[in-house]
């Protein structure tokens, strides 16, 4: 009997010791590198997209993407530092680890998913059409037939109209969407077609969004491939952002005045694994 009680006690003690050892072991080799291990998150945003990510004169960034990223970092219990990330470098900076998260109108696509992972989408934008407020004959993308559409160098949005939908538009070149807007107001083009959130960022009283969406652009939170824990934490944060009403507040704050039909319910996530 002596042996038995001794064994019982030693079992408890060793079980405790073992649990400690196992916990140490699993934290040591279980997690590779996750954004959850960092104290400060470096977050890539756009520097030149009004309403989404815009660098201010004081060097701060402001916009919907920036607010979403701040919220996510807060939910993860981290501080955030924002850096301007050009579209062409989004995969590169995530893969080399110089940026932890990218929240920069970053559409989730299968090709990109071969290189990086995506939390979210935090919003599903749609390609839509912006016209002058006085325009009454354009109710949808098909009504652009025979009209002048702004074509921004390097952007694919015009292809969705002219090539994918085979609508006979007349393309007018411009260097940027800001230039398109000026052309639209000046009457040099009849319509600008791209993601509705981008259009909403530009919208002013003399312009209107047609509200006839014809694509889904799923804006995701780019994260290093393989960081499942980080990606799942981001998804949880986005779910909470919609549940606690922050998403609605932020969408209205940045795009409410544009007259755009906004969606206030959580988007369908891409999945981390």
Partner 1 sequence: MAVVVPTTGPAPAPSPSRALRLRTVPGRIRAGAGVAILAVGLLSALMGVALAHAGDGLQAIGHTAGPQVVATADLYFALSDMDAQVATVLLAGEEGRPGRQAALNRYDQRRAQADSAVLQAADLARGDPTGQMTVRAVLDGLGRYERLASRALLLDEQAPHAAGPPSQPALEVYRQATDLMRLDLLPKAYNLTLDSGTVVRHAYAAESSAVLAGRFWVALGGALVLAVLVALQVFLTRRFRRAINPALLAATVVVGVLTVAGILVLQRASDELRTAKEDGFDSVLVLSRARAIGNSLHGDESRYLLDPQRADTYEQVYLDKSQSVLYVPGGNLDKYYAAVDQSVAAFPGKADFLGFYGSEADRVTLPGQREALAKVLTRYQQFQRDDRQMRQFATTGKNGDAVRQAMGTSFGAYDAALVELTAQRRQAFDAAVAAGDRALDGWNLLLPGAALAAALLILVGVRPRLAEYR
**How many C-beta atoms surround the C-beta of residue 67 within 10 A?**
22
Closest CA to 192 of 181, 206, 176: 181
Nearer to partner 1 (CB atom), residue 215 or residue 224: 215
Pick the stretch among 36-44, 134-142, 169-177, 251-259 that binds partner 1 (CB under 8 A): 134-142
The residue length of the chain stands at 273
Cα separation values, 39 from 15, 44, 151, Å: 33, 16, 43
Closest CA to 246 of 68, 2, 42: 68
Q: Binder to partner 1 among 141, 197, 209, 260 (CB under 8 A)?
A: 141
Nearer to partner 1 (CB atom), residue 176 or residue 242: 242
- Cβ 261 to partner 1, closest distance in Å? 10
97 binds partner 1 (CB under 8 A): no
In sequence order, the β-bridge partners of residue 59 are none
In sequence order, the β-bridge partners of residue 44 are 83, 102
Any idea which residue has 């993601």 for tokens?
Answer: 195
Residue 107 DSSP code: B
Q: In the chain, count H helices and then E strands.
A: 9, 13
Q: Binder to partner 1 among 20, 21, 96, 133 (CB under 8 A)?
A: 21
- Cβ 267 to partner 1, closest distance in Å? 6
CA angle 22–27–30, rounded 5-degree value: 100
Interface map 48-77 toward partner 1 (x if CB under 8 A): ------------------------------
Which residues ranging from 196 to 255 are in contact with partner 1 (CB under 8 A)?
A: 213-216, 228, 232, 235-236, 239-240, 243
- Cβ 214 to partner 1, closest distance in Å? 5
Q: Which residues bind partner 1 (CB under 8 A)?
A: 3, 6-7, 10-11, 14-15, 18-19, 21-22, 25-26, 29-30, 110-111, 113-114, 140-142, 159-160, 163-165, 213-216, 228, 232, 235-236, 239-240, 243, 263, 265-269, 271-273
């Amino acid at each position: 009997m002596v042996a038995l009680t001794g064994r019982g006690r030693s079992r408890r003690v060793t079980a405790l010791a073992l649990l400690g050892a196992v916990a140490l072991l699993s934290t040591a080799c279980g997690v590779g590198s996750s954004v959850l291990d960092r104290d400060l998150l470096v977050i890539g945003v756009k520097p030149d997209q009004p309403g989404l990510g815009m660098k201010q004169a004081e060097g701060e960034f402001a916009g919907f993407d920036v607010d979403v990223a701040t919220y996510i970092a807060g939910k993860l219990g981290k501080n955030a530092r924002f850096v301007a990330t050009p579209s062409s470098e989004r995969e590169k900076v995530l893969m080399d680890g110089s940026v932890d998260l990218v929240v920069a109108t970053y559409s989730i696509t299968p090709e990109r998913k071969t290189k990086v992972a995506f939390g979210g989408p935090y919003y599903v934008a749609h390609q839509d059409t912006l016209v002058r407020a006085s325009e009454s004959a354009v109710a949808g993308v098909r009504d652009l037939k025979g009209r002048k559409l702004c074509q921004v160098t390097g952007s694919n949005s015009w292809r969705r109209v002219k090539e994918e939908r085979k609508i006979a538009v007349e393309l007018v070149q411009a260097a940027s969407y800001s230039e398109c807007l000026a052309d639209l107001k000046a009457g040099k083009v009849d319509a600008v077609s791209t993601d509705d959130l981008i259009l909403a960022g530009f919208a002013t009283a003399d312009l209107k969004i047609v509200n006839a969406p014809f694509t889904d652009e799923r804006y995701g939170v780019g994260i290093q491939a393989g960081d499942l824990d980080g990606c799942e934490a981001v998804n949880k944060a986005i779910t909470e952002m919609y549940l606690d009403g922050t998403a609605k507040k932020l969408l209205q704050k940045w795009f409410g005045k544009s007259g755009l039909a906004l969606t206030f319910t959580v988007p369908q996530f891409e999945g981390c694994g």
